[in-house]
Each structure stands twice: as structure tokens, then as C-alpha cells.
Amino acid sequence: MVKRLIGKLYVQVLIGVALGITLGVFWPQVGVDLKPLGDAFIRLIKMVFAPIIFATVVLGIAKMENMKELGRVGARALIYFEVLSTFALVLGLVVVNLVKPGAGMNVDVSTLDTASIASYTAAAQSTGSFTDFLMQIIPASVTDAFAKNQILPILLFSTLFGIALAHLGPRGKPMVDVLESFSHGMFHIVGIIMRAAPLAACGAMAFTVGKYGLGSIVSLGKLVATMYLTCFLFVVIVLGFVARLSGFSLWKFLKYLKEELFTVLGTSSSESVVPQLMTKLEKVGVSKPVVGLVIPSGLTFNPDGQCIYYTMAAIFIAQATNTPLSLMDQLIVLGVLLLTSKGSAGVTGSGFITLAATLATMDNIPVAGMVLLLGVDRFMSEARAITNTIGNAVGTMAIAKWVGALDRKQMNLVLDGQPVPEQVPPIESLTLNQTVKPPVVGV
């Protein structure tokens, strides 16, 4: 029984996390030195990230029978992303005003050493305007987008290529067959890489605790606890409501994704499980085109955990430095974040850069106050990454239900842990508005 339990990936990841914390507490320097384990794992995942997104999106679109459905899915996905990310921003704003984690700290901004955040503020200055962000979606070249793992340019090219293959019909089938085999090979590589997830979790957690120490959590414990509480409330209340509307149990769905969630916990990156997440969502009954479009775009346009962090961190800095903010000032912060939050991605540290860019556009909240967050930012990144992952997974299910691309019979069977009958057709062969007929039992 014990051997069977230890053989499960999520249990191995938890053991890696516990071991990493132990090493970080008792042998901090050893923990810091183990940082390459986590970094190497993320790099391995990112190595296959672009090819998997490309193959999945192209295959999903190329097999669609109605191209009008593509625009329908994209439009509804963007509406969903905007609504949910706004909910996340508002929830963070409300909770940080109620709890006031920065009140009473009385930090003098002039005494803060900003050298430690120089790299983040420099990166924030190079982010450009919202127009620049939109222009960056169009790659200078296809190879450049793949070489730099740029999600949105890859998604744009993949969508256009998929549409082209769909219009070619039978002439495009040889390329579709090649991409099908290529996709299977990529996902097999992911399976091999995932065997290293426990080591990656150990290395990443050992570095975080060894570098910043558990003492940094104690000194800013109220902020960390408030962040985790807010993320929990968002998942349970907001995403729970979305799941109920979409016809599935959030608890069963989270149990189904437990391996991916524990991997995110250990690596602090929502990108580390994108390939596995896409596979599992297809298995649970979401059509391939919806998975291929929603998951990659959701990394940028639906970062729920990041949004919660942005409003909480901005207002926390104001509270800690005794910077007065009127209701209108806070609404302006919210409005700016509605735009800047769409430029964030699932990699650790991107939230800090986006926050610096947001504060730099405003005069009332001191950017220097971000120094206060350095010690605990890594500890809060787990909450952000897990919330991002759950938000995108639930969002994919909701959008699939919205456009009629969710096989509810297959979903119920998978979430209940029952085998899916062979008579149910493969989900990638479904059109977005096709209803799957119940399988004929006993024939």
C-alpha cells in the first residue's frame, strides 16, 4: 500500500517539497545551491512548450468543420478572461482594504535601498505601451517567436496555419498527419520530463527557503496569509460558482488535476504543467480546438492569481509607507491594472515586473516600496501560480460548455473515476457544436 502510494507523482512532489523546506531551513547554503534543479526542470518544459502549443492549435483548427466557430470561441474566451480577471482584481482590492496588512509598518521610503529592485524597474521601463504590447503579438519572424518562446506570436501563427490547412482540405491532410505524430512524440517527451518533477520541487523550494528564510514570512506574515486567503476565496467562491454553472464539481475537478497542482506548488510556475493540463482537459471531454486556443491565451489574458497579487501588493505598499489613497486613486490603480495585467505570463518573476511597470505609470504609490515585497514574493508566487492554473483550467471547461464543445457524459465519467466506453469518439474529432450520442451498450 505504501509502495503504491509513493509511486504516485503528486506524493513524490510533496516529498520533494518537504525535503526542500528541510534543506532550506537547516542547510541554507545547500538549499541555495540546489536552485539549478528547479531552473533546469522549467527549461526542459519550456523546451517543448512552443512545439506543443503549435501542434495542438494547428490540429484543433485544421480539424474544425466550421471556421465561424473559431471566431466564436475566441470572442467568448476574451469576454470570459476580462470578466474573471476583473473579479480577481476587485477581490484583491476589497480584501487588502479590509485586512490592511501594511497598516502600522510606518516605513520611511527615503531609507529603502532600491538597488535590489533595479533589475525589475529596468525591465518594467522596457515593457512599452499597450499599443506596443499589441504589436508584439505579430512576430518579426516565425523562427524568432519559437526561439524566444513567445506565447501570443506562436498562437497567432498557429491559428493562421491551422486555418490554411482547414481550407486546403484533402491536400492539407498529409501535413495534419505529420503534426499528429509530432504531437504524440512531444507529449511523450513531457511524460519523460515529468519524472524529474520531485527533484525540481525539492530544488526550487530549498532555494526559496534557503535564500529568503522562513523568517521573512514571519515578518510579513500578515500579507502572505492575506494573499493565500484571497486566492482561496477566489477559487472556492468565484471559480466554484463558474464550475457549478458549467455543470461540474470543482472539488472533483481539483482532485482530477492534483498531480499538476502539486507540481505547480513545487515549481512556482504555471507554465510547468501546460502540456499535461492540455492533455487532461481533452481527456475530460473538452474538444481539442478549445483546449488549444484557451489554455495558451489564458496564460497571458487570464492570470487570476497575478491579478489578486497586483492590487494587494500595490495597496499594501501604500499602507506600509503611509501613502494616502482616496477611493478614486484606488479605482485608477484598478483601471491601470486592467490593462497592464494582460501582459503578464506564467513565469516566476513576471508579476514583479508588471507591478513595477504599473507603479511607474503612477505618481502616488512609491516604486521603492517594492523592496518590502522582495523577501516574501517567492513565497506568494506559489499561490499566484496555483490560482492561475486552476483559473485557466476551470475557464477552459466553462468556455467549452458555453460554445457546446464539452462532452458532459465523458466529463462525468472521468471526474467520477470511471472508464470511458470505447464507443465514445475521440474528442479531437468533435466539431464545436456537435453533441455526442450516448454509446450503445452491449452491442
Domains of the chain, with CATH numbers?
A: 7-418 (1.10.3860.10)
DSSP string, 62-127: HT-S-THHHHHHHHHHHHHHHHHHHHHHHHHHHHHHHH-TTTT----GGG--GGGGHHHHHHHHTS
Asked if 141 and 156 count as a contact pair (C-beta separation under 8 A), the reply is: no
Q: What end-to-end distance do the CA atoms of the chain give, in Å?
A: 38
Q: What is each CA distance from 361 to 87, 103, 304, 366, 428, in whole angstroms? A: 23, 24, 22, 11, 45
User: Rounded to an integer, what distance in angstroms lies between the CA atom of residue 40 and that of residue 45?
Assistant: 9
Mean pLDDT of 31-56: 84
CA 276, 281, 287, 291 dihedral sign is: negative
Summarised one tens digit per residue, pLDDT across range 54-105 is 888 888 778 766 666 777 888 888 899 889 989 999 999 999 999 998 887 7
| Torsion angle, alpha carbons of 421, 422, 426, 432, to 10 | -40
Q: What is the pLDDT of residue 391?
A: 94
Q: Give me the pLDDT at residue 95, please.
A: 93
Q: Closest Cα to residue 23, out of 266, 214, 210?
A: 210
| pLDDT tens track for 163-212 | 888 888 888 889 988 988 998 888 888 888 888 888 888 888 888 788 77
pLDDT surpassing 70 at residue 122:
no
8 A C-beta contact, residue 28 and residue 213: yes
pTM for the structure as a whole: 0.76
Find the length of the chain: 443
Query: How does pLDDT run across 9-23, given as a tens digit for each residue?
Result: 778 888 888 898 888
Confidence band of 121 (pLDDT split at 50, 70, 90): low
DSSP 440: -
Within a 13 Å sphere around the CA of 210, how many CA atoms are in the beta-carbon half?
A: 22
| Mean pLDDT across the chain | 80
Mean pLDDT of 266-271: 79
